[in-house]
Amino acid sequence: MTNPFFSAWTTPYEAPPFEQIETGHFKPAFIEALAQHRAEIEAIGNDAAAPSFDNTIAALERSGKTLRRVEMVFNQLTSAATNEQLQEVERDIVLLVARHWNGIFLDPKLFARIDALYGQRETLGLDAEALRVLERYHLDFVRAGARLTADERLRFAAIVERLAALGTEFGQNVLADEQEAVFALSEAEMDGLPDFARDAAAETARERKLNAPFAVTPSRSSVEPILHFAKDRAVREKIWRAFVQRGANGNKNDNSRLIEEIVALRAEQAKLLGYESYASFKLADSMAGTPEAARGLLEEVWAGGKSRAEADRTALQDLARAEGQKEPLDAWDWRYYAEKLRFARYDFDENELKPYLQLDKVVEAGFFVAEKLFGLSFTPREDISGYHPDVRVWEVSRGGRVIGLFYGDYFARAGKRSGAWMTSFREQSRLDGEQIPFIVNTCNFVKPPEGRPALLSLDEARTVFHEMGHGLHGLLSNVTYPRIAGTNVVRDFVELPSQIYEHWLEEAPVLARFTHVETGAPIPEALLERMRAARTANAGFETVEFVSSAILDMDYHSAPMAGSVAEFEAGVLADIGMPREIALRHASTHFLHLFSGDGYAAGYYSYLWSEVLDADGFEAFTEAGDPFDPETARRLYEFVYSAGGQRDFAEAYRLFRGRDPDVRALLKGRGLVTEGAGEA
């Protein structure tokens, strides 16, 4: 069997040849790629010549190309198109990969070369970008244990390997709970749901071969319509409980034990590196800098959000009583009555917008904004294959030059984890000639019946723009070195390009591009006015469910965990006065951001930190009087989207905005304006 990872790819731009890649190719490809990379690293560490930037740092940047190629393809498939065979490979490979990177970061000879260069960095004559790359490499190695004693390095390596295995198991457990549970529903139980949700539930019943007209699973895209529109309160409760209990059902997929071990190991890892807590360790390399700074922002926003939610709770309870509900308002009631309250207050039903928000037109609108701001054009490439029939590919050009490929994977399906994310199959660099990036946007929208267009909610349309913002961060990257390319930035800066891009969705020139799926008519101005009036209608709920999850994350990683996972979570929520009628956006046992890997561990707050930046940053366009103001767009491109990790991120924001960010823009955007809001 010829393994495509062992030969040059003859596809356009050397894009992954998915039609040639089979599950059986991955394990031998990983083993060979790891061996190649290990030999390259040993050659760097054993080089008899004195360390130089080129023979050490640049050599590290050039190493591991085959490994990156295998990993990037494999990681997306195990997230978006997995099966039992791929998951078995994933479990086998995760320890090999963790052990491999431990061997690199804990190699004393290799670190000695990097450390020597770092000590001489001011006299090496490096340009600003190369100096930044050297500094980031040195920090990477220090934070990965390079300065530990021999015994400490052994323990640190064992922790890293165990955490890698636990993270893989955690993610697979959540997906299993989502895939294995399915709820057959009758016509009566679907009463109140709009056509799009009924169509999706009917398709799920057909896929699962159930003797029922409708079915839903505990995945978010399947659950949300039930919670918003199902008239049957018992159905809402049943589906809600399955949704929030993912990973906590006492079955083989239960994640409680994994969380306890992950939290303890992370705390030990941080202490080995000399930090008081894992949160202190993670935030030392962030814009926030300390857990206290991040917690301060969370608490400031929490106060206003909770107050707003409590006021809404009273109104929702009154509405429920008026409609004959004798029981107190509960978590499975909130979304249902919030829809009714929004309509009562603003005469706005979000479903009125759906016929105008066709997925294809929303994607095209995202491309339109990219063209207006950054001069990009997107051309479909049907000759470039995706990893699933749903995946579409575009060639992206700027100034007459191709700068990347953009893959869009928008529909939910079996074998695909919940949520939305951006990743890449190749990152931009110029180290050995121009290497264009291959960027992937993945979402989980309900797939319509054959021959019918996919219609999105306003929130789903924002998700398209959000992920496209991440995608542009990768596509517009314009650096020499892979280490600082695209989204290789600190966690509380990485959401700025995605979140600021959401703002353009509701700008008049963009809204004008959306027309009714049947009549072709534009969105009526009266409907847009009601939409704008209702923009912050449920802001209290949205703030509380997010901020409570961010505080839970910070508490897991700030002090030793007391009691079981359930007890710890309940204690955190009691301490902050969590309204009983609102659930965490991500309960512990399915909190993939935190426990399927360490990317957002002690970093979930970063969405809110970046919201300060994006809300304040978009005001620069408002102040210019034009959402596409050329000069403001130029600064946004130069200092945010194209710059990667070239400079300190607070400095990057100041160069774009002309000053530090102001938290009041966030509070205003959420409808939570408070007196005395200060600088972020």
- DSSP conformation letters of 174-211: HHHHHHH--EEE-TGGGTT--HHHHHHHHHHHHHTT-S
Pair 238, 332: CB distance under 8 Å:
no
Q: Establish whether 42 is a catalytic residue.
A: no
- DSSP conformation letters of 116-180: HHHHTGGGS---HHHHHHHHHHHHHHHHTTTTS-HHHHHHHHHHHHHHHHHHHHHHHHHHHHHHH
From 467, 502, 542, 619, the catalytic residue: 467
Around Cβ 659, how many Cβ atoms within 10 Å?
A: 11
CA distance 90 to 167: 11
Backbone angles phi, psi at 75, to 5 degrees: -65, -40
Around Cβ 140, how many Cβ atoms within 10 Å?
A: 16
Pair 408, 429: CB distance under 8 Å:
no
Beta-bridge partner residues of 145: none
CA distance 423 to 72: 8
Pair 553, 298: CB distance under 8 Å:
no
Pair 663, 529: CB distance under 8 Å:
no
Q: Which residues of 238-268 are buried (b: 16+ CB within 10 A; e: fewer)?
A: bbbebbbbbbbbeeebbbeebbeebbebbbe
At 46, list the tokens: 């054993």
Task: Please state whether beta strands 438-445 and 401-411 pair in parallel, antiparallel, or not at all (unpaired).
Answer: parallel
Pair 661, 616: CB distance under 8 Å:
yes
> Please, how many CA atoms are within 13 Å of residue 165, restricted to the half-sphere of its CB?
11
Catalytically active residues, by annotation: 467
